[in-house]
């Protein structure tokens, strides 16, 4: 240990003192030290404290490239799920106002939307959540420091304040839950200088105006969807396919609906450069990957939604030998969230192969806390995790996509029940129902166990959540048939589905 203090790490004397003291006495200041106060880290630290552990959590937010900052709670609360869902809700209300007139509401004068009113309200709500998290930590006796943590050894973390003041902390176990941040493309001139990311969009004081959203995964589509819903001119630039990793038939329905809803799509397009014109507008040059032709257009904002990078670089992982996947930068974790170094655990968005979702981070964090406190041995089950894409037509799913099911069980081994249905609320409003669809993917042989369930329609998250329980319990098609629907709902259409894709029969639901 003394040799380590003299060696290549060049640790400060105080760090060495803590490490040596702990090595000699075998005592740690804390039972658990959590680096990262986001969805996972907060859940883990609160659960551990409730089980009687002495816990400390460090959370520190580096401002975005554009200088956007936020408080305690991590991505979901500040720059993810929460402001996103509220902006989606804002957009849904805009559609509802249009529907309302068909239902007899007299809405006099043109309806318009004010970005700053929405932004203020959402930002205030987020701040209230930041405060709520602080209070909860205090109530549960979790020590919280607004400091950036990095590893010194398997029991020791260096914590640094914004002003550069350093402290060394020791704990029996260290949990890393530092999440991720949006990436910028590296090879596109002007991308970083002139573009924003999801770390900024929810904190803008002024409307982003005509916006180009680059990327086609769910962050991109959701953002373009709510921007369109707010009445803005929004274009999605897609270099390959939309919603990679999701069922591709469903992805097609989502983007078809968005196109009909007013979102523009630049398919097969690769951005090349972004230039700021003297007018202040951003001129984007891109290449059509099929024809090779170069195209240009001007936008008020360019939003990069080209993926996220795990926050692992500043953690000092190499110093202590925590193994990462060199390609993704994520930490290699076992099923119990342990890393290659004893006493160091990692989960949530920085865990290799883990879903990048809040509920999985929360659940995994709680279970880890229980195991570390010696009060349980249950592992996180990452199978059949439901999720929803909050695009103008929402898409909820749980279990396997049709492609995955066919890959796993062969085309012959899979039965797909499907239906195009008509949400009752769309009828009077005369809204297009072409993309309201559901499919239930089952094993074809044996008892027709349900492998996957997919739904595009209103309230897809609410619909999918309940059926996720069924999949956890190993539901079969026969269980679904025995389930009585709630009338009149869209969810009941799932219980009524009876046309197989194999039959080739028309899957359009008729009657009520
Ligand atoms: P995070 O919540 O990211 O928390 C990590 C925290 O650690 C952050 O506060 C970070 O600043 C801090 N930190 C980083 N490094 C250090 C350090 N060295 N020291 C101290 N602190 C540090 N998921 C859903 O389930 N539903 C959704 O609808 C949804 N929508 C999303 C929309 C967007 C736009 C985005 C970007 C994500 C969305 N997600 C959604 C994903 C969800 O937000 C993440 O999966 C979740 O927040 C991950 O939790 P985490 O605990 O792993 O990390
Ligand atoms: P994802 O899911 O990693 O998707 C990134 C998207 O951006 C995807 O459509 C990519 O296309 C596209 N992409 C990546 N690089 C480029 C460049 N250089 N130019 C154009 N398009 C590009 O990222 P998200 O941010 O949407 O979501 C990440 C996670 O955050 C997600 O799992 C959620 O849980 C929360 P590709 O398909 O690779 O051709």
**For domain 191-306, which CATH number applies: 3.60.21.70, 3.90.120.10, 2.40.40.20, 3.50.50.60?**
3.50.50.60
Residue located nearest, by CA, to atom 15 of ligand 2: 306
In 7-114, alpha helices (H) = 13-25, 39-50, 74-79, 81-102
Mutate to test the pocket of ligand 1, among 56, 75, 198 (most ligand atoms within 8 A of CB): 75
Note the pLDDT of residue 446.
86
Structure tokens at 481: 């048939």
Mutate to test the pocket of ligand 1, among 36, 70, 460 (most ligand atoms within 8 A of CB): 36
Ligand 2 within 6 A of 191 CB? Answer: no
What is the rounded CA–CA span in Å between residue 149 and residue 152? 10
Ligand 1 within 6 A of 351 CB? Answer: no
Ligand 1 within 6 A of 149 CB? Answer: yes
What is the dihedral sign for C-alpha 391, 67, 39, 353?
positive
Ligand 2 within 6 A of 239 CB? Answer: yes
Mean pLDDT of 244-267: 98
Backbone angles phi, psi at 246, to 5 degrees: -95, 165
Question: CA nearest 475: which of 393, 421, 378, 398?
Answer: 398
Ligand 1 within 6 A of 35 CB? Answer: yes
Apex 336 CA angle, 333 and 338, nearest 5: 45
What is the rounded CA–CA span in Å between residue 442 and residue 415? 5
Mutate to test the pocket of ligand 1, among 76, 78, 369 (most ligand atoms within 8 A of CB): 76
Compute, in angstroms, the gap from residue 403 CA to the centroid of ligand 2. Answer: 20
487 is catalytic: yes
Confidence of residue 56 (pLDDT cuts 50, 70, 90): very high
Fill in the DSSP letter of residue 277.
-
307 Cα nearest atom in ligand 2: 23
In 373-491, alpha helices (H) = 402-409, 424-428, 460-472, 477-482
Ligand 1 within 6 A of 59 CB? Answer: yes
Ligand 2 within 6 A of 236 CB? Answer: no
- According to DSSP, the β-strands at 387-389 and 395-399 are antiparallel
Contacts 24+ apart (CB under 8 A), 485-489: 487/512, 488/424, 488/512
Mean pLDDT of 285-293: 97
Residue where the block lists tokens 């709670």: 73
Note the pLDDT of residue 292.
96
Compute, in angstroms, the gap from residue 332 CA to the centroid of ligand 1. Answer: 18
Using H for helix, E for strand and C for coil, what is the string for 318-343? HHHCCCECCCCCCECCCCCCECCCCC
Report the CATH architecture of 394-500: 2-Layer Sandwich (3.30)
Compute, in angstroms, the gap from residue 146 CA to the centroid of ligand 2. Answer: 30
Note the pLDDT of residue 27.
79
Domain 31-68+130-182+309-372 has CATH 3.50.50.60: yes
- Calculate the average pLDDT of the chain: 95
Confidence of residue 439 (pLDDT cuts 50, 70, 90): very high
Residue located nearest, by CA, to atom 27 of ligand 1: 81
What is the rounded CA–CA span in Å between residue 40 and residue 356? 11
What is the rounded CA–CA span in Å between residue 33 and residue 55? 6
Residue where the block lists tokens 């007299």: 106
Percent of the chain with pLDDT over 70: 95
Mutate to test the pocket of ligand 2, among 217, 327, 330, 389 (most ligand atoms within 8 A of CB): 217
Please report, for the chain, the start and end positions of each structural domain, with discontinuous segments joined by +: 31-68+130-182+309-372, 76-119, 191-306, 394-500
Mean pLDDT of 14-30: 67
Each residue's pLDDT tens digit, 311-345 = 999 999 999 999 999 999 999 999 999 999 999 99
The strand order across the sheet containing 301-304 reads 264-266, 234-237, 211-214, 301-304
Each residue's pLDDT tens digit, 472-512 = 999 999 999 999 999 999 999 999 999 999 999 999 998 76
What is the rounded CA–CA span in Å between residue 468 and residue 76? 21
Position 3 pLDDT exceeds 60: no
Note the pLDDT of residue 166.
97
Structure tokens at 361: 């981070």
Each residue's pLDDT tens digit, 339-391 = 999 999 999 999 999 999 999 999 999 999 999 999 999 999 999 999 999 99
Position 395 pLDDT exceeds 80: yes
Each residue's pLDDT tens digit, 221-238 = 999 999 999 999 999 999
Question: CA nearest 368: which of 342, 341, 339, 338?
Answer: 338
Ligand 1 within 6 A of 223 CB? Answer: no
Cβ atoms 457, 395 nearer than 8 A: no
One fold for 31-68+130-182+309-372 and 394-500: no
Cβ atoms 453, 494 nearer than 8 A: yes
Entry pTM? 0.95
Ligand 1 within 6 A of 306 CB? Answer: no
Ligand 2 within 6 A of 305 CB? Answer: yes
Compute, in angstroms, the gap from residue 129 CA to the centroid of ligand 1. Answer: 14
Confidence of residue 23 (pLDDT cuts 50, 70, 90): low
Residue located nearest, by CA, to atom 31 of ligand 2: 356
Position 4 pLDDT exceeds 90: no
Ligand 1 within 6 A of 215 CB? Answer: no
Ligand 2 within 6 A of 438 CB? Answer: no
Output the DSSP codes for 338-360: B-SSTTEEE-GGGBTT----HHH
CA distances from 512 to 394, 439, 485, 496 (A): 22, 19, 12, 11
Task: Give me the catalytic one of 9, 28, 88, 487.
Answer: 487
Compute, in angstroms, the gap from residue 214 CA to the centroid of ligand 2. Answer: 9
| 201: Cα separation from own chain's centroid | 15
306 Cα nearest atom in ligand 2: 7
Residue located nearest, by CA, to atom 36 of ligand 2: 240
What is the rounded CA–CA span in Å between residue 132 and residue 246? 34
Confidence of residue 2 (pLDDT cuts 50, 70, 90): very low
Structure tokens at 59: 């959370």
């Amino acid at each position: 240990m003394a040799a380590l203090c003299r060696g290549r790490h060049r640790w400060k004397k105080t760090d060495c003192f803590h490490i040596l003291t702990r090595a000699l006495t075998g005592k740690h200041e804390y039972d658990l030290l959590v680096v990262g106060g986001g969805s996972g880290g907060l859940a883990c630290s609160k659960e551990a404290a409730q089980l009687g552990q002495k816990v400390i959590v460090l959370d520190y937010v580096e401002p975005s490239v554009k200088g956007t900052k936020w408080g305690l709670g991590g991505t979901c609360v500040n720059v993810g799920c929460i402001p996103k869902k509220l902006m989606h809700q804002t957009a849904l209300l805009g559609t509802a106002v249009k529907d309302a007139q068909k239902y007899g509401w007299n809405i006099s004068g043109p309806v318009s939307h004010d970005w700053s009113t929405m932004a203020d309200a959402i930002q205030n709500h987020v701040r209230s959540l930041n405060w709520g998290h602080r209070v909860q930590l205090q109530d549960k006796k979790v020590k919280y420091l607004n400091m950036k943590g990095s590893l010194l050894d398997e029991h020791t973390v260096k914590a640094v304040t914004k002003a550069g003041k350093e402290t060394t902390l020791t704990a029996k176990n260290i949990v890393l839950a530092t999440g991720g941040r949006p990436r910028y493309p590296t090879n596109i001139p002007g991308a970083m200088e002139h573009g924003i990311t999801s770390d900024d969009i929810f904190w803008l004081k002024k409307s982003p105006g005509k916006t180009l959203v680059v990327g086609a995964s769910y962050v991109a589509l959701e953002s373009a969807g709510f921007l369109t819903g707010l009445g803005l001119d929004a274009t999605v630039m897609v270099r390959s396919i939309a919603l990679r990793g999701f069922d591709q038939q469903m992805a097609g329905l989502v983007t078809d609906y968005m196109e009909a809803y007013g979102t523009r799509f630049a398919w097969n397009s690769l951005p090349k450069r972004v230039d700021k014109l003297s007018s202040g507008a951003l001129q984007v040059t891109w290449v059509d990957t099929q024809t090779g032709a170069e195209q240009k257009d001007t936008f008020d904002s360019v939003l990069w939604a080209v993926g996220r990078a795990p926050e692992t670089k500043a953690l000092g992982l190499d110093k202590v030998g925590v193994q990462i996947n060199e390609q993704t930068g994520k930490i290699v974790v076992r099923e119990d969230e342990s890393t290659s170094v004893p006493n160091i655990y990692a989960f949530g968005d920085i865990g290799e192969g883990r879903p990048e979702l809040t509920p999985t981070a929360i659940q995994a964090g709680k279970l880890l806390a229980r195991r570390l406190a010696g009060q349980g041995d249950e592992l996180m089950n990452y199978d059949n995790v439901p999720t929803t894409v909050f695009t103008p037509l929402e898409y909820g799913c749980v279990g396997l996509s049709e492609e995955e099911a066919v890959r796993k069980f062969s085309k012959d081994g899979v039965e797909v029940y499907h239906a195009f249905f008509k949400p009752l609320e769309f009828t009077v409003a005369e809204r297009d129902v072409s993309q309201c669809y559901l499919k239930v993917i089952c094993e074809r042989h044996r008892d027709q166990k349900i492998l996957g369930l997919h739904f595009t329609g209103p309230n897809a998250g609410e619909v999918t959540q309940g059926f996720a329980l069924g999949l956890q319990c190993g539901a079969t098609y026969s269980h679904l048939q025995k389930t009585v629907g709630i009338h009149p709902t869209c969810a009941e259409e799932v219980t009524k589905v009876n046309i197989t894709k194999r039959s080739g029969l028309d899957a359009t639901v008729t009657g009520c």
